[in-house]
Amino acid sequence: MNCISRLRFCVLVLFVAAGSLARAALPLEADSAEASALAEKADASVLKALATRPKAEFLVVLGDEADLSAAAGMTDRVTRLQYVVDTLMRRAEVSQAPLRAWLAAKGVEHRAYWIANMIQVSGDVTLARSLAARGEVKRLIANPRANTLPDQSKLRREQDIADGQKSLSATASIEWGVAKINAPQLWALGITGAGIVIAGQDTGYDWTHPALKSKYRGWNGATVDHNYNWHDAIHAQINTTPGSNSCGFNSLVACDDDYHGTHTMGTMVGDDGAGNQIGVAPGAKWIGCRNMERGTGTRTTYVECFQWLLAPTNLANTNPDVSKAPHVINNSWGCPMQNHPFAEAGCETAASSDPIRIAIEALNAAGILVVTSAGNDGPACSTLRDAPAMYDASFSVGATLSSDELIYFSSRGPVVEVASNRSKPDVSAPGVSVRSSTPNGGYASTDGTSMAGPHVAGAAALLMQAYPSLIGNPMEIRRLLMRTAKRLPVTQNCDNLATTVPNNSTGWGRIDVLAAYNGAPGATLDVDSNTTGSPYNGTTDGLLILRHLLGLSTTGVTTNALSSSATLVDPVAVTARLAAIAPALDIDGDGQRYPHTDGLLVLRYLLGLRGAALTADISAVGAQRTSAPDIEAYLKLLTP
């Protein structure tokens, strides 16, 4: 498969059908209250399916979303995970109970989910009308089958000339993408991702591959246990192409009926101990969920995998255990938009009703980082238009060449779907000629943002081992990787962001995990930890930072500079905190930290100055960030 030519990542396009046209498409009474409700609540693709088929499958999204905001204040990881899961389950149980009882009484086939408050049903237009008329129902959305993976015939595989089998030969070197982001420098410090669990949902994973087997959490060195380490969300045939998949359905053994998933996992953790150093975090463990059948998935398979990853279960799908949830999830897939050439219908719907968005936000609330590939629809602007990459809750990744240039196919922002005009991707990573594992012990090189995302997931694992405070803090991991990324030259002007960072081509730039490691993880401009009003204050925090950059310490820094509600007041402790955040204080990116440039920029920003007033009469030789938008964006990352 060639990720350049055909990989497309899922979307939800906001498609507003006129009520009169929607009603005309169905054999409904024009004045019927139920007909009006259906026209108002159903996506266009659902209406079309109901009008052309005696029975259609669709998803019933309920309007009652759980409030997970309290999770942010929980410091114990398992407690936080359990709170999120319990809250979601309770909300689903209470709000879905009457509807599920009603469906059961009518003998309607259905499957309920709790990570997003929805029920999958199969029925005719009469059922759809009755569902739409119910007050608890927010939206009826499609569950289309979509093949989002590339043409396998163009996958560049290493071939063994003698017997045609995939080569097992070692490269005797670290793969270029792994080296490019400076992962080996962290390995030399003993940082390999040990203690961190990486997950993926994809076409499945060949757990027996020599580069993956010892990294699989289900393998103890002698026996394998797939309980809590593997889930198959493929319960029936999805791919309509003739043939059968090698995994079957509801597989109790980790497997891959394609190649894609095994390849992505290799980039995250792979190392066979014989020279094939293909993974960024070879000390991490992995678990997996199969969300596609021969490259074809649906909205429900994606959401089911997210749900299982939040609360892994045994192979009987019982006894969920949140302590076995992963720290980071890679997603090299997407849900195609309306009229996508490889989808029977689009995944379009309003963002507020999209279960993919809802699931990702729940995972964020639980403290799990969700990495997504930007898609391969470039080079035009606003081609990053698919879920999950288009959502703010996703950490979206574009693809770069070994020369640190953006590859032409990498999808660009801004996101124009869901009326967001959001700048995307967030960062970029190696995604061309990426060599990694393939099923049955093979190796292959291929291209795509599918290959870029795993570099970022692996980098996150390294950083979480190095700084345990980052575990359960996905937003801080994102901020750290963004502000330490290597700025890349961009000439394409998408939404007037060609010369600024972040932009709609490479985001903040190509990730550099060594720079992130040295970049003061967790740094903010709140120095004295005041408890009243804004945590960031120019006359206190700004002055403390300026004095520190002037070379002062202890009382020379703190005298008459602490806020009245400061909780960090000891001069030695304040000086230590300033020293800890110092690597992040190179505001203009010139490699230095000067009071008359960086210190003054911090002070002005915390005093509320923006635009020309922020940057007036400040210049530094070699500065990377010189414009007000550039500097403001960087400082915003330090004031979460």
Spatial contact of 228 and 324, defined as CB atoms under 8 Å apart: yes
Q: How many Å apart are CA 435 and CA 177, to the nearest integer? A: 9
Three-state DSSP state, 417: helix
pLDDT at 223: 98
Domains of the chain: residue spans and CATH: 152-517 (3.40.50.200), 538-637 (no CATH)
pLDDT at 6: 34
Three-state DSSP state, 394: coil
Both tokens assigned to 476: 């801080």
Instruction: Using 70 as the pLDDT threshold, list the residues of the chain that sit under it.
Output: 1-31, 148-172, 338-346, 419, 497-498
Say how many residues make up the chain: 640
* Phi-psi domain of 433 (left: phi exceeds 0; alpha: psi -120 through 50; beta: other): left
pLDDT at 419: 64
Spatial contact of 346 and 340, defined as CB atoms under 8 Å apart: yes
CB atoms within 10 A of CB 460: 32
Strands 197-202 and 146-147: unpaired
Transcribe 585-635 into DSSP letters: G-TT-SS---IIIIIHHHHHHHTT--THHHHTT---TT-S--SHHHHHHHH
Strands 427-430 and 395-400: parallel
Spatial contact of 252 and 226, defined as CB atoms under 8 Å apart: yes
Helix count and strand count (H, E) for the chain: 20, 19
Three-state DSSP state, 207: coil
pLDDT at 618: 94
Both tokens assigned to 438: 């393939």
Both tokens assigned to 384: 């990053």
Q: How many Å apart are CA 57 and CA 49, to the nearest integer? A: 8
Judging by beta carbons within 10 Å of its beta carbon (0-12, 13-18, 19+), is residue 190 exposed, middle or buried? exposed
pLDDT tens digit sequence for 406-461: 999 999 999 987 767 899 999 999 999 999 999 999 999 999 999 999 999 999 99
DSSP 8-class letter at 510: B
Q: How many Å apart are CA 538 and CA 170, to the nearest integer? A: 56
pLDDT at 60: 97
Q: How many Å apart are CA 603 and CA 493, to the nearest integer? A: 31
Sheet holding 395-400, edge to edge: 230-232, 285-290, 197-202, 328-331, 369-373, 395-400, 427-430
- Cα(first)–Cα(last) distance of the chain, in Å? 41
Q: How many Å apart are CA 113 and CA 92, to the nearest integer? A: 8
Which runs of E-coded beta strand occur in 349-501? 369-373, 395-400, 427-430, 434-438, 442-446
pLDDT tens digit sequence for 98-151: 999 999 999 999 999 999 999 999 999 999 999 999 999 999 999 988 776 654
Spatial contact of 182 and 512, defined as CB atoms under 8 Å apart: yes
Sheet holding 156-157, edge to edge: 156-157, 442-446, 434-438
Q: How many Å apart are CA 118 and CA 448, to the nearest integer? A: 32
